[in-house]
Structure 1
Amino acid sequence: MDNFIVSARKYRPVTFDSVVGQQHITGTLKNAIHNQQLAQAFLFCGPRGVGKTTCARILAKTINCENISENVEACGTCDSCKSFQNGNSFSIHELDAASNNSVEDIRSLIDQVRIPPQTGKYKIYIIDEVHMLSQQAFNAFLKTLEEPPSYAIFILATTEKHKILPTILSRCQIFDFNRIKVEDMANHLAAIASKEGVTFEADGLHVIAQKADGGLRDALSMFDQIVSFSNKNLTYKAVIDNLNILDYDYFFQILDAVNKEDAANVLLTFDQILNKGFDAGHFIAGLSSHIRNLLVTKDPSTLKLLETSENVKKRYLDQSQLISSGILLSALNISNQCEVNYRTSKNQRLQVELALLKMCHLASAIQLANHGISANAELKKKLPESGLSNTAQVASVAAPAGQPKESPAINPAKPVPSAFVAPTPEKKAPVEQAAPAPAPTQSAPSGNGWGQIKPSIAVPDLKKIFLPKSETDKEENELVQGSEFLEVTTNAFLGKWNAFAEKLKSENKLTLFTIMTANTPTLQGTKILVEVENMVQMDGLKLGKIDILNYLRVQLRNFALEIEGVMVEKSKERKPYTSQEKYQAMLAKNPALEQLRKTFDLGLS
């Protein structure tokens, strides 16, 4: 039985043209050889498995080839090429810096550099994983790398360029290798499968290429593994079973159920995924990628960003036509937030299930928002054009949650309807609020009883339900509005002011009554200045301000009146409160009281 050779070695490129996905580098190297403009040192850097060492060997073999073709490729038949292929070339040396990273190893290499090549024009040194050299080894290598003999060429390869000293980098021509594209890798795997007599499905090769993450060597290793697993029948099912990859079908099923608001089906599918041994975090990351791919297929110009086979690409196109961009963007935001919170969550399964349930109700939420906006617009059309004192309150009740309230415009040309004017103090009428007409009940489409949402116009504002009672009531108890602005005299104003104060006294509202009668207010145009002595009185004035203005505006027929509290300094002479203080104040006015008190032996009660 012949010894098995892995595909990564058996199909390793031997010419520049056979290198996969690095045409920008192979083209530059071929031009340098053709124009005889070879640098003294090259640095090949990039991720693993993209062809750094392969290109270094091809470059070394081509430089010393005795019969370079017109396409600047090594002939493979000359003595130099044969000796290199057999591994006994005296002009091309490979050094593994991971195991030869000391100063002594570099000194030995420097001693070898002094000896000219026995065959060929150049003596070439390939140093792999050069970033593993020690600091002292780098320093010992500097001088030779900067001024090598004319026949010496160094080719350095590394996966971690940032670990190499800047002084080394400045002495090299740097070539950055790219990750190999999924399409290029899948085509290369298909060519190898054809040579090996392996039947394959294109979807399966694309999954291998995606799993390899840009490294062709990883892709070839997985290819050999799956060929053995499937007995040379490489199918999509065999690939996902062997590599433990979550099937595309699960994500398509979940997005179809999300679009139908079938939450039960979504949760059952997720449970099936967990029972097969897949991690919930891996699932939510895959779901985010799936939603991203659906958004990519929405626009034909971004279709090239989809790295899948043609069959899967067609499924993405079909599903993206069924789901709106708004739902996809919201679902992507939800899944991304779930992925962020997943690791810190104590109940990780519940975290994912909650995100899935949110996605299932996206369509109803969007429908609810659109219904609320349209209903609010219809309500505005039905309202009269005249200025209404309670229009703002009507809009407040009618506006759905999250929608801004609009202030009505006052039309001064028309009188204010009596139904919306504050009642006079002689006869207090009950306040009536305009309530919106109930919207027809609608139930969003759902599956198996999930996702039932009944939209309504009067949706409470969740931002205000936890505010104190005084703050939430402040908007509802609004000032009356009107179009009358008659001139107000001081006497008329004081008369109505005192009348309202007496009304408060009869209603046993003594706090506001004391504030109104403690100091005589001042009228300046339409502004009423009320003097208060402390912040307690200022707060009391603010609380009763609306009631006072609603009375004065209607009685004085001027709807521009405003009240402003003015803080005044306390008098230096403190008013007497206790019996002792009152007696001392009386004694200061009439000293004879002390003689009277002593004569009759009176006390202070």
Structure 2
Amino acid sequence: MEHFIVSARKYRPQAFQDVVGQQAITNTLLNAINNNHLAQALLFTGPRGVGKTTCARILAKMINSDGTESPDEDFAFNIFELDAASNNSVDDIRSLIDQVRIPPQVGKYKVYIIDEVHMLSSNAFNAFLKTLEEPPKHAIFILATTEKHKIIPTILSRCQIFDFKRITVGDAKEYLKYIAGLQGVEADDDALHIIAQKADGAMRDALSIFDRVVSFSGNNLTRQAVSENLNVLDYETYFTSTDLILKNNIPQLLLQFNEITAKGFDGHHYVTGLASHFRDLMVCKNEATISLLEVGEQTKAKYLEQSRKTSLSFLLKAIDLANSTDLKYKASKNQRLLVELCLMQLASILAPADQNDQQEKKNDKPRIIPPAHFKGFQIDLPQKRVETVEKAIEKHAESTPPIQEPSSLPAATIDTPSDSPIASEPIAKTEPIPIETKEAVEEVSPTPKTPKLNISSKRVSGLSLSSISRKKEHEKSKEDRQVDEENLPTEPFTEKQAQDAWEAYIKKLQNKGQKNMASIVGIDQPVLRDKKTLVVEYPNDTMRVELERSKAPLLKFLRAQLQNYDVDILVEVNETATKKYAFTPREKYEKLKEKNPLIETLRQTFDLDI
């Protein structure tokens, strides 16, 4: 078996133009070499795997080459690499200083590459200061570190600092595509993009992941194979979640989240990915910001398609909810519930029930109707109130001289007392004001007033012909209503039909947004008893009371559906309540003595107290 060389070593750049994503630094170093303007101490700092050591080796090779050597010449005798992680003592630095004094045998310069220089001890740094500030003209020091803040300021001030940046996803993907072409591997654009994202700006990590995925799937890299091997949530997961959110499908959304956690993914990772997905959808809403979307062409088309289904206000609310969940996740004691609550809130942003609730809240504002609105209207008040007013008028009429009700006599023939001031004047017959209208006007008045019972010329007694005729009309209307109730349909129905009507009422409650009442009604299916009584069993009395409160609309709906107005509902409670008693020691003893009389003999024998 041939010896395998990992891609990070096999394809390590041999020239500055091959270095990925560090054009500013490589151009600066090339110009410094061409213009003979190179500093004696350089500090390369930046994240892992971005090309610090590679650039140091290329620089060491270029400053020693004069064009006459072979292309394979690596100037190994002039390049000294020191790992400061394992050689961090003062003695190691002193040994290095002793070697610096000796000039090179081949080439012009000795290049000392000290990797992970932040691992040197403080004494080693101090011993290195003088040599670093004034080295021999043939010595160049290149220090490399990932943690610049751990290096003492006196070292930093003696070096020319080059800050290496993270490699962008686009640059890493293009280089992986180049490597895949050299190895004869067919790779999807989305698959390479996932690898580049997983590498987090480090080219060495990207090449290591590429080797691993090639070992897993062979010479054909697909997005599905890469996602499965790297155990990452791909774009399809978030596309599916967003579709379920837009459809308000909360049950399926929770099931999808359960599948995600079953695969070993963290809920925090899912929420942050969902927030990033909403951000990418918002970026796609404007053509000027589409360039901020770092995905493949196929995935970009999917983002554009889904962004058309969403509104900007929805995306802003969704990002705010997901970001709030991200901030609360670490402090939450029930993290799964927190994520599920976030998903339910996201799916409820566009829910029709919420819109109905908001509309109802807008319509709940109280309105004051002025009394003038009721002028000319005849308002039917309850018969009890009419009778109360009529009795008050009758009582007052008994305490005053009776006013005869003229039938066909002229107004001038009515007898009046001789001492009355109106004896000489005829009493005109006037139409009485309907009692119902007067009561209505008094009810809508801004300030309630006590009704005055003074009988004027426009009032009549409770024994007037008009009041008697109204009573007869009222009794007749009651008889008509009784006849109508007797003629209501009473069609026979089956238990299955009753249960279907019961389910239809539950759906009606859910559509109105009354989900609590719908859940209470749906606890049990009704059972038909006596051909017209529907019996339901509830586990406790509290739920029975809740159903009794909403029994009237339920009965109205069931009677209309079943075409039987004799239907009734009987609610039974199957809860068994057991009384618990607190026994005294004497009562416990008496209970035991009933079961076994010998206990009394035992107590007397040993003279025991209870």
- Smaller-chain TM-score bracket: 0.5 to 0.7
Map 1:384-403 onto structure 2 (within 5 A). none
Q: Does structure 2 conserve the Cα–Cα contact (< 8 Å) formed by 1:360 and 1:451? A: no
* Structure 2 counterpart of 1:513: none
Q: Is the 8 A contact 2:369 2:444 kept in 1?
A: no
Consecutive unaligned residues of structure 2, counting only runs of 5 or more, are: 373-441, 454-505, 515-610
Q: Which residue matches 2:570?
A: none
Task: Report SS of the residue matched to 1:4.
Answer: coil
Matched AA of 2:69: C
> What is aligned with 1:183?
170
CA distance in 2 between partners of 1:449 and 1:291 (Å) = 33
Matches within 5 A, 1:427-438: none
1:421 aligns with 2:446: yes
- Tell me which amino acid in the other structure corresponds to 1:25: I
Structure 1: how far apart are the matches of 2:78 and 2:55?
A: 17
Q: Note if 1:78 corresponds to 2:65.
A: no
Q: Distance in 2 between matches of 1:252 and 1:366?
A: 24
- 1:163 match: 150
Q: Does 1:113 align with 2:65?
A: no
Indicate the RMSD between aligned Cα atoms, in angstroms. 3.1
2:507 and 2:110 map into 1 onto residues whose CA distance is 78
Task: From the CA coordinates, give the structure whose radius of gyration is larger.
Answer: 2
In 2, the alpha carbon distance for the partners of 1:450 and 1:304 equals: 48
Instruction: Single out whichever of 302-311 and 357-366 deviates more from structure 2.
Output: 357-366
- 1:238 corresponding residue in structure 2: 225
Aligned partner letter, 2:37: Q
Match of 1:334 in 2: 321
* Cα distance in 1, alignment partners of residues 24 and 354 from structure 2: 49
**What amino acid is aligned across from residue 282 of structure 1 in structure 2?**
H
Instruction: Tell me what 1:273 maps to.
Output: 260
Is residue 126 of structure 2 the alignment partner of residue 128 of structure 1?
no
Matches of 2:38 and 2:356, distance apart in 1: 69
| Residue 367 (1) aligns with residue 383 (2) | no
Tell me the amino acid that sits aligned with residue 299 of structure 2.
V
Distance 1:154 1:452, change over 3 A: farther
Paired with 2:445 and 2:64, the residues of 1 have a C-alpha distance of 100
Amino acid at match of 2:310: I
1:19 aligns with 2:19: yes
Tell me, yes or no, if structure 1 residue 295 matches structure 2 residue 286: no
2:63 aligned with 1:38, yes or no? no
Q: Match of 1:54, as an amino acid?
A: T
| Count of aligned positions | 394
Change (3 A) 1:383 1:315: farther
Paired with 1:305 and 1:376, the residues of 2 have a C-alpha distance of: 46
Deviating more after overlay: 6-15 vs 261-270: 261-270
How far apart are residue 83 of structure 1 and its match?
4.1
- Give 1:517's aligned residue: none
Q: CA deviation at 1:351?
A: 1.8
Q: Per-residue deviation at 1:116?
A: 1.4
When residues 418 and 323 of structure 1 are mapped into structure 2, their CA distance, relative to the original with a 3 A threshold, is: same
Answer whether contact 2:42 2:159 (CA < 8 A) is retained.
yes
Match of 2:235 in 1: 248
Separation of aligned partners in 2, 1:100 and 1:124: 17
> 1:349, CA displacement in angstroms?
2.0
Cα deviation, residue 419, structure 1: 4.5
Give the Å deviation of 1:341: 2.5
Residue ranges of structure 1 left out of the alignment (5+ in a row): 68-76, 387-416, 429-447, 457-605
CA displacement at 1:374 relative to structure 2: 7.6
1:320-352 superposed Cα distances (whole Å, 9 cap, x missing partner): 110112222212222222223323333322221
Three-state SS of the structure 2 residue aligned to 1:191 is helix
Aligned residues of 1:361 and 1:451 also touching (Cα < 8 A): no
**Alpha-carbon contact 2:281-2:303 (below 8 Å) kept:** yes
Pairwise CA distance, 1:247: 2.4
SS of aligned partner of 2:143: strand
TM-score (normalizing by structure 1): 0.61
Q: Secondary structure at the match of 2:104?
A: coil
> Which residue number corresponds to residue 576 of structure 1?
none
The yes-or-no answer on 1:2 pairing with 2:2 is: yes
CA deviations 1:65-109 (Å, max 9, x no partner) are 112xxxxxxxxx715x6442xxx6222211111111111111111
Deviation at 1:418, TM superposition (A): 10
Q: In the alignment, is the contact (CA less than 8 A) between 1:262 and 1:450 conserved in 2?
A: no
SS of 1:156's partner is strand
Q: Hey, what's the Cα distance between the residues in 2 that align with 1:373 and 1:204?
A: 50
Residue type at the aligned position of 1:6 = V
Residue 281 of structure 1, CA deviation: 2.2
**Any conservation in 1 of the 2:64–2:108 contact (CA below 8 Å)?**
yes
Per mean C-alpha deviation after superposition, the further-off stretch among 153-162 and 307-316 is 307-316
Q: 2:134 aligns with which of 142, 147, 155?
A: 147
Give the secondary structure class of the aligned counterpart of 1:322. coil
User: Using the alignment, how far apart are the partners of 1:248 and 1:158 within structure 2?
Assistant: 35
Secondary structure of the equivalent of 2:308?
helix
Amino acid at match of 2:63: I
Look up the SS of the partner of 1:362 in the other structure: coil
Go from structure 1 to structure 2 and tell me whether the alpha carbon gap of 1:24 and 1:221 turns closer, same or farther (over 3 Å shift): same
Change (3 A) 1:23 1:449: farther
Q: 2: distance between equivalents of 1:12 and 1:154?
A: 22
Q: Is the 8 A contact 1:261 1:451 kept in 2?
A: no
Name 1:212's counterpart in structure 2: 199
Q: Which residue of 1 aligns with 2:55?
A: 55
